[in-house]
Amino acid sequence: MTHRRTFRIAAVIVALVVCAGAVIAFRGVGRWLVSEDALGSADAIVVLSGAMPARAEEAARIFHMGYAREAWITRPESPASDMAGMGVQYTDESDYSREVLIHLGVPEADVRVLPGTIMDTEQEVEELSSEMRREGKTSVIIVTSPQHTRRVRALWRELVGENPRAIVRAAPEDPFDADHWWRDTHDALAVMREVLGLLNVWAGLPVRPHSS
């Protein structure tokens, strides 16, 4: 066997190994994005905006398990003022999450919507941590979608650090299919968004939230 032929065989083997590794990584990225913390006692449970009603449902379940005595909800930016100008009533997403929590037995007095409006997860983390510091809270349980957990944890470490402390949990009723994410358009877009978001965090957040 000539050296050239040996080199070609070795190159083919390496290429096959690289391709196999790429396929495994591609298929596994959905599962990799899911990164939860162990449950523990906290000052409040927070429902991040989006994925209704799964996130609020999980927050209610954790509340009834006794891990926290308050349930907070973030308020996404909405077209409410523009709609009101046209005489059209608009119900904010945070209002629905609040109703879900109350419907599932969380006392109304223990549910609150955070005052600031947010456009993305980065602003959500900043709003939440600022509110915690204003009220002297030291720990929080954050409920979000499974594929969103790793980025939430990365953003919290980047923007907040270890104090106050965040416990990030996934809503199990969220329909995200971590093992077959490429089969569904919604899941595929979610994975791409999360991967790009993580790259932004690791790069030091050069892409900032839109400010109106």
Residue 20 has a pLDDT of 46
Is residue 23 over pLDDT 60? no
Structural domain contains residue 70 = yes
| CATH code (residue 45) | 3.40.50.620
Cβ neighbours of residue 197 closer than 8 Å, sequence gap 6 or more: 121, 151
Identify which has the larger pLDDT, 103 or 25: 103
- Mean pLDDT (whole number) for 162-176: 94
Structural domain contains residue 84 = yes
Is residue 14 over pLDDT 90? no
Structural domain contains residue 54 = yes
Residue 200 has a pLDDT of 93
Identify which has the larger pLDDT, 110 or 51: 110
Residue 58 has a pLDDT of 97
Structural domain contains residue 192 = no
Structural domain contains residue 15 = no
Q: pTM for the whole thing?
A: 0.85
Residue 3 has a pLDDT of 59
Residues in the chain: 212
- Mean pLDDT (whole number) for 42-51: 94
Is residue 26 over pLDDT 60? no
198 CB burial (10 A radius; 0-12, 13-18, 19+): middle
Most confident of the ranges 14-28, 86-100, 136-150, 196-210: 136-150
Residue 53: cis peptide before it, omega within 30 degrees of 0: yes
Structural domain contains residue 4 = no
Residue 153 has a pLDDT of 96
Quote the tokens at residue 72: 């907070």
Whole-number Å distance between alpha carbons of 121 and 99: 22
Is residue 29 over pLDDT 90? no
The closest alpha carbon to 58, from 136, 194, 171, belongs to 171
Expressed as residue numbers, the domain containing 110 is 35-176
Please, what is the average pLDDT of the chain?
Answer: 86
Cβ neighbours of residue 191 closer than 8 Å, sequence gap 6 or more: 29, 30, 33, 147, 181, 182
Structural domain contains residue 121 = yes
Amino acid at 116: G
Backbone angles phi, psi at 149, to 5 degrees: -65, -45
Structural domain contains residue 96 = yes
| H helix or E strand, kind and range, residue 9 | helix 3-33
Whole-number Å distance between alpha carbons of 157 and 178: 24
Q: How many domains does the chain have?
A: 1
